[in-house]
Structure 1
Amino acid sequence: MSGPLARSMRMNEPPQARSRDFRASALRLLRRLTPQRGLTVAVMLLGIGGIAIGVVGPRILGHATDLLFNGVVGRELPAGLTKEQAVEAARARGDTTFADLLSGMNVIPGQGVDFAAVARTLALALGLYLVAALMVWLQARLLNVVVQKTMVALRADVEDKIHRLPLRYFDSRQRGEVLSRVTNDVDNLAQSLSMSITQLLTSVLTVVAVLVMMLTISPLLTLLTVVTVPLSLWVTRSIARRSRRLFVAQWTNTGKLNAHIEETYSGFTVVTTYGHRAHAEKQFAELNDDVYHASFGAQFLSGLVSPATIFVGNLSYVAVAVVGGIQVATGQITLGGIQAFIQYVRQFNQPLTQIAGMYNTLQSGIASAERVFELLDAEEEPQAPDRDLPTVSGRSGRVEFHDVRFGYRPEAPVIEGLSLVVEPGTTVAIVGPTGAGKTTLVNLLMRFYDVDAGQILLDGVDITTVSRSALRSRIGMVLQDTWLFAGTVYENIAYGRPEADRDEVIEAATAAYVDRFVHTLPDGYDTRIADGGTNISVGERQLITIARAVLARPQLLILDEATSSVDTRTEVLIQHAMTSLREGRTSFLIAHRLSTIRDADLILVMDAGRIVEQGTHDELMARRGAYWTMIQA
């Protein structure tokens, strides 16, 4: 075998491309419908009622056929005879076949077609079909409500889960891949669930109802019909088992493709600047090719299910037509009865074919469900007590590190045995080479990560004994990488304290020197910031994030290279603003510029996760140690 299908079926696929537990995921997905159990029961009752009424239709139409056929034959027979006499007369003249046919009919010799009875029968069939259609339509509407409410709850659970996941979860995964689970997989799951449940419920109920009706007509013909069902199920299962892993691979590869697109788009300027456009396009082509081959293989294999089951179903249809024709000829069944039975055979095979053809949709949805459930099952941040930080009389903001040890991986510690006391209102500058642990120290203080050993205290309280939200509400943070959302300048500043009034927002903007440039924008504070702030300069974006921190009025302030993106003159202005902002607050500065750190009350020099020097600028310069060497460099 060669070509796309052969490539898609290769066995050396990565482990994540295989379904973990199809049945368990499907059952878990169905359990999410339980909150809508009332509507679900109504859907099932409507489905049972609609299908039960609908399957009676062929039997009624078969009766109408019998009325017509009886009238046509009866009109040709001499009036005044009984049916038994007409049968004996046919046998007497040697017409045994006609006699057998006549014996199985409800015919009155000499009487033609009763068109009034035919009309009443057809009207009844039409009325029943209308009622059945109405019930099925109502069932579909209610089922749509059930599915959409279930998906709303699932999306809410995914959103809540995102906020409970530790930072290490996102650090170890590509953003585009996580976004693909939250968007593409959830949307695919919603579509698959809506289609699959509708068809599955309708098909199962139809099979049961039609089977009952067929048994009332002819048990022998019913046996001929159902004898091929095991063969259909075997064919379906054989094909589905091979296509299942390809659907998992399809959505796994889709996540990788989305991750590449997100990274390329976010860093488009860098990609263009360094001439990596061709390389990015090559990566895209390879990932896109992987998605194509997995999708092709999955759709090709699952597409074989429907024609295979149709072929098997037609075998039973041929057997019923032959044996049924013989039974009509011998008077064992009426013409209308065999007509109704043949319709039932079609109705019986059709839902089986639909169920088989639905496998691709169902497996695609379950593959997405596994990826979503994997996100929901991811290890969360350890739960902290729902406790607020106590109010401290006097000056607050005392920070203590006691023999702190931490590593992003247990075998590779980043910080070891670090102890430090920062008094309230102190400005601490943290310097050191790349990888020394400066940002890690801040991440531990913010509880983006928890320490492996030791304690971090804020005003004498272990930060692991209070809620993260309570801790972070006391801390303002300005990072080197600015983050602005698609809103106005005013809204981005107000994000620091949403309840602040406009005067307070403008006051914070003035303190951070945003007011100096905001009036040059088309709509001032109401200017909408484009995607990530591409319509303003990098330095202006940094100033807005600083204004946000000013407005938040934090107890602790963390500035991680906060002035690295502004020019020297703007930095001087920001230093004045920061001096006012830091007054009465404990502040941590991570910076490399001498102008940013020289006025700090305490300078910590870190290397390999340890504090190798600490003191004021003048003290450290006098020692001529690691700090002096950095300054000279």
Structure 2
Amino acid sequence: MSEIEQTQDTGTDAPTPVKANARPDAPPPGRGPGHGPMAGTGEKAANFKQSLKRLVSALRPERAGMISAIVIGVISVALSVVGPKILGRATDLLLAGWISKDMPEGMTREQVIEATIASGNEQLAELLRRLDFVPGEGIDFAAISTVLLFVLALYVASGLFSFLQGWILNTAVQRTVYRMRQQVASKLQRLPLSYFDKQPRGEILSRVTNDIDNVSQTLQQTLSQMLNSLLMVIGVLAMMFWISPTLALIAVVSIPIAMVLVAIIGKRSQKLFAQNWKSTGELNAHIEEAYTGHSLVKVFGRQREVEAEFARRNQELFEAGFGAQFISGIMMPVMMFVGNLNYVVIAVVGGLRVASGTMNIGDVQAFIQYSRQFTQPLTQVASMANLMQSGVASAERVFELLDSEEMSPEPDGVLPVTRGHVEFRDVEFSYSPDKPLIRDLNLEALPGQTIAIVGPTGAGKTTLVNLLMRFYDLDGGSITMDGTDIATVPRGEVRSKIGMVLQDTWLFGGTIRENIAYGRPDATEAEIVEAATATFVDRFVHSLPDGYDTVIDEEGSNVSAGEKQLITIARAFLADPALLILDEATSSVDTRTELLLQQAMSALRTGRTSFVIAHRLSTIRDADLILVMEDGGIVEQGTHTELLEAEGAYHRLYQSQFSAPATEEAA
């Protein structure tokens, strides 16, 4: 589980930066329903048909472009497929000229054919009947040149239409993927914090980046080829049946063979592609976790274990990727084998028909070209099958994210001007239904009060604050601010009134000035400096090379832990919220700075209600009300003096902090 740092919400439910691994009072990963390093990921077999249908439906807003692409594709393919037929005409002209050059001049075409029949060569006579020739004229190169130029013009026009079709389809695909990224980004903002608690960050990032990129590449590479291949098959089949229905039927026999082979191979490869992308997400999650906590790995000497885990996950990815690519790669040679068999049969049968005089040699030549053009799109479809399998597997993972349960709908209520009167009424909450955490909790914080919350780890202190921030919805009861139930107003409205500083800090990649101004983007330079001065950031900023313009990397490794905490406190100071939440906000600073910060926090808390979660009881002695929590409930409440006099749970906590060392020394 992750802690979230937020100083002031801007009105959106965008996921705030997540830090470190486990909230003590949340269910541990791997326990309870839905918890685990890969909960909900890759557990079901890929539903190829449903995911493919949904992926295609994502193209629906591009209907106009797709229809235009289909029309242009039909024109392009039509111009392309008539080419071999016309080239066959050139072959017939060449053959007729070559045969006619040795014929005696002065004879007519019919006389030559009759003389050939009279000589007993009826097959040659049949061939001559199908040719257009003039005895003794020879080869008509002008006519052949005209035919070739016409075919060249057809192919150029077909290429231009194909280019236009590709441009339209590419635009449609990129718009579709653009919308998909927008949907995912919007979905992430609507997902509850519990979703991010259950999913490793690397796994989410893999779906948002790798999987969407793979979908984009799949659509871009296959959509145009698939459309052209289907149109080519239809066009070529029409031409083949026009030239010779018998040979066309022979060619069509290869279609069911190819479809059966593609189905058998594709069914096996789909499972491997689904596993491949699942393994990719797991490996990304491991890498992100290992290198985010790289220093911790070094401190505890766990490099070997991290490397071994990486090697194991990397091997799983290798095996899944190799298997998927190997099996899907079989499609191409298998389809080429089927195509070559088809080519041989057509060449033999076509040659026999030419020899018998029932077909022109130009028609056989055209038909052989068509047989190649017929098997080529089938081979392309087979070669694209592995891309489709991979792309649909990625699309399914993206759809799983898009189908995840969202936060409850935002109400339309309005939060009045907040004075800081907060009340918990019969609040009940649990992270897991079978493990209750907070039961029947009641609490009232008056405007301007400082409420300190103490208790052992796992007592529910941070959970209480998260409920106030509406990071989670209640199971029962209500929380009100100035009499208004916060469940009846938008989350952004609630969070915009609250400033929050956590023990686990997070700084964004940017300058110190930008990190402080994140609390209030419209703040002036003077206001930023004032907040930095009040929280003692100004003391160390001037020792940095670029002052407030010093760029902090994403992990904040170029400033100390205490300096990071000071910057986050300055961020909250600048936000000037009506309600302040401090979750052990001074734990990372030295004793002297802590004393100074206590003064700053005292000024910051003036006039506003503050909730302070503390483990060091010395920091909350001046709190107006101290709540002692155990097992999700408030067991004691009162001032510091009152609770010590009661000698209950607070007294035991106090004694454990201040008396234990002396007792041990005495012992």
Q: TM-score scaled to structure 1, two decimals?
A: 0.96
Letter in 1 for 2:217: Q
Residue 476 in 1 paired to residue 499 in 2?
yes
Say whether the 8 Å CA contact 2:169–2:224 is kept in structure 1: yes
Residue 377 in 1 paired to residue 400 in 2?
no
Letter in 2 for 1:57: G
Say whether the 8 Å CA contact 1:105–1:331 is kept in structure 2: no
Partner of 2:274: 248
Change in Cα spacing, 1:109 to 1:17, as seen in structure 2 (3 Å) is farther
Once the 2 structures are TM-superposed, how far is the Cα of residue 315 of structure 1 from its aligned partner?
1.9
> C-alpha separation between the residues in 2 aligned to 1:547 and 1:380?
33
SS in 1 for 2:510: coil
Task: Identify which range, 89-98 or 140-149, moves more after superposition.
Answer: 89-98
Q: Which of 622, 628, 647 is 1:599 aligned to?
A: 622
Partner of 1:286: 312
Partner of 2:633: 610
> C-alpha separation between the residues in 2 aligned to 1:173 and 1:150?
26
> C-alpha separation between the residues in 2 aligned to 1:97 and 1:406?
94
> C-alpha separation between the residues in 1 aligned to 2:103 and 2:583?
105
Once the 2 structures are TM-superposed, how far is the Cα of residue 17 of structure 1 from its aligned partner?
5.5
Letter in 2 for 1:308: V
Equivalent positions of 1:62-461 (< 5 A) are 62-391=88-417, 396-461=419-484
Task: Identify which range, 422-431 or 313-322, moves more after superposition.
Answer: 313-322
Partner of 1:548: 571
SS in 2 for 1:16: coil
Letter in 1 for 2:439: E
> C-alpha separation between the residues in 2 aligned to 1:273 and 1:185?
34
> C-alpha separation between the residues in 2 aligned to 1:177 and 1:46?
41
> C-alpha separation between the residues in 1 aligned to 2:183 and 2:410?
20
Task: Identify which range, 47-56 or 428-437, moves more after superposition.
Answer: 47-56
1:47-72, CA deviations, whole angstroms, 9 ceiling, x for partnerless residues?
A: 11111111111111111111111111
> C-alpha separation between the residues in 1 aligned to 2:134 and 2:211?
66
Partner of 2:61: 35
Question: Which one scores higher on RCO, CA 8 angstroms, separation ≥ 6?
Answer: 2
Say whether the 8 Å CA contact 1:240–1:302 is kept in structure 2: yes
Say whether the 8 Å CA contact 2:214–2:391 is kept in structure 1: yes
Once the 2 structures are TM-superposed, how far is the Cα of residue 420 of structure 1 from its aligned partner?
0.6
Letter in 1 for 2:456: P
Once the 2 structures are TM-superposed, how far is the Cα of residue 224 of structure 1 from its aligned partner?
0.5
> C-alpha separation between the residues in 1 aligned to 2:429 and 2:437?
6
> C-alpha separation between the residues in 2 aligned to 1:587 and 1:359?
60
Partner of 2:597: 574
Say whether the 8 Å CA contact 1:253–1:287 is kept in structure 2: yes
> C-alpha separation between the residues in 1 aligned to 2:247 and 2:555?
69
Say whether the 8 Å CA contact 1:236–1:356 is kept in structure 2: yes
Unaligned runs of 5+ in 2: 1-39, 657-667
> C-alpha separation between the residues in 1 aligned to 2:615 and 2:454?
7
Once the 2 structures are TM-superposed, how far is the Cα of residue 18 of structure 1 from its aligned partner?
4.8
Letter in 1 for 2:581: I
Equivalent positions of 1:612-627 (< 5 A) are 612-627=635-650
Once the 2 structures are TM-superposed, how far is the Cα of residue 621 of structure 1 from its aligned partner?
0.8
Change in Cα spacing, 1:207 to 1:535, as seen in structure 2 (3 Å) is same
> C-alpha separation between the residues in 2 aligned to 1:18 and 1:597?
51
Once the 2 structures are TM-superposed, how far is the Cα of residue 169 of structure 1 from its aligned partner?
0.4
Identity of aligned residues (%): 56
Say whether the 8 Å CA contact 1:485–1:531 is kept in structure 2: yes
Once the 2 structures are TM-superposed, how far is the Cα of residue 281 of structure 1 from its aligned partner?
0.3
Say whether the 8 Å CA contact 2:124–2:357 is kept in structure 1: no
Partner of 2:29: none
Once the 2 structures are TM-superposed, how far is the Cα of residue 384 of structure 1 from its aligned partner?
2.2
Letter in 1 for 2:176: T
Task: Identify which range, 413-422 or 313-322, moves more after superposition.
Answer: 313-322
Partner of 1:46: 72
Q: TM-score scaled to structure 2, two decimals?
A: 0.91
Cα RMSD of the aligned pairs, angstroms, is 1.2
Say whether the 8 Å CA contact 1:398–1:458 is kept in structure 2: yes
Change in Cα spacing, 1:338 to 1:105, as seen in structure 2 (3 Å) is same
Say whether the 8 Å CA contact 1:428–1:602 is kept in structure 2: yes
Task: Identify which range, 596-605 or 72-81, moves more after superposition.
Answer: 72-81
Change in Cα spacing, 1:297 to 1:55, as seen in structure 2 (3 Å) is same
1:292-314, CA deviations, whole angstroms, 9 ceiling, x for partnerless residues?
A: 00011110110111111221122
> C-alpha separation between the residues in 2 aligned to 1:46 and 1:217?
25
Once the 2 structures are TM-superposed, how far is the Cα of residue 493 of structure 1 from its aligned partner?
0.7
Say whether the 8 Å CA contact 2:75–2:161 is kept in structure 1: yes
> C-alpha separation between the residues in 2 aligned to 1:412 and 1:602?
29
> C-alpha separation between the residues in 1 aligned to 2:468 and 2:132?
92
Once the 2 structures are TM-superposed, how far is the Cα of residue 319 of structure 1 from its aligned partner?
1.3
Partner of 1:538: 561
Say whether the 8 Å CA contact 1:17–1:245 is kept in structure 2: no
Partner of 1:8: none
> C-alpha separation between the residues in 2 aligned to 1:416 and 1:297?
52
Once the 2 structures are TM-superposed, how far is the Cα of residue 88 of structure 1 from its aligned partner?
2.5
Task: Identify which range, 426-435 or 40-49, moves more after superposition.
Answer: 40-49
SS in 2 for 1:76: coil
Once the 2 structures are TM-superposed, how far is the Cα of residue 529 of structure 1 from its aligned partner?
0.4
> C-alpha separation between the residues in 1 aligned to 2:428 and 2:633?
10
Say whether the 8 Å CA contact 1:61–1:336 is kept in structure 2: yes
Change in Cα spacing, 1:519 to 1:464, as seen in structure 2 (3 Å) is same
1:318-358, CA deviations, whole angstroms, 9 ceiling, x for partnerless residues?
A: 11111111111122111111111111110010001100110
> C-alpha separation between the residues in 2 aligned to 1:153 and 1:571?
49
Once the 2 structures are TM-superposed, how far is the Cα of residue 543 of structure 1 from its aligned partner?
0.7
Once the 2 structures are TM-superposed, how far is the Cα of residue 15 of structure 1 from its aligned partner?
8.3
Partner of 1:525: 548
1:202-247, CA deviations, whole angstroms, 9 ceiling, x for partnerless residues?
A: 1101111111111111111111100111011001001100110100
> C-alpha separation between the residues in 2 aligned to 1:538 and 1:612?
34
> C-alpha separation between the residues in 1 aligned to 2:52 and 2:627?
55
Letter in 1 for 2:59: L
Task: Identify which range, 398-407 or 324-333, moves more after superposition.
Answer: 324-333
Say whether the 8 Å CA contact 1:260–1:284 is kept in structure 2: yes
Change in Cα spacing, 1:553 to 1:455, as seen in structure 2 (3 Å) is same
Q: Which of 491, 498, 507 is 2:521 aligned to?
A: 498
> C-alpha separation between the residues in 2 aligned to 1:332 and 1:94?
17
Say whether the 8 Å CA contact 1:18–1:249 is kept in structure 2: no
Once the 2 structures are TM-superposed, how far is the Cα of residue 290 of structure 1 from its aligned partner?
0.4
1:426-472, CA deviations, whole angstroms, 9 ceiling, x for partnerless residues?
A: 10110000000001101111111111011111111111100001001
Once the 2 structures are TM-superposed, how far is the Cα of residue 81 of structure 1 from its aligned partner?
2.1
Say whether the 8 Å CA contact 2:101–2:137 is kept in structure 1: yes
Say whether the 8 Å CA contact 2:46–2:274 is kept in structure 1: no
Task: Identify which range, 355-364 or 324-333, moves more after superposition.
Answer: 324-333
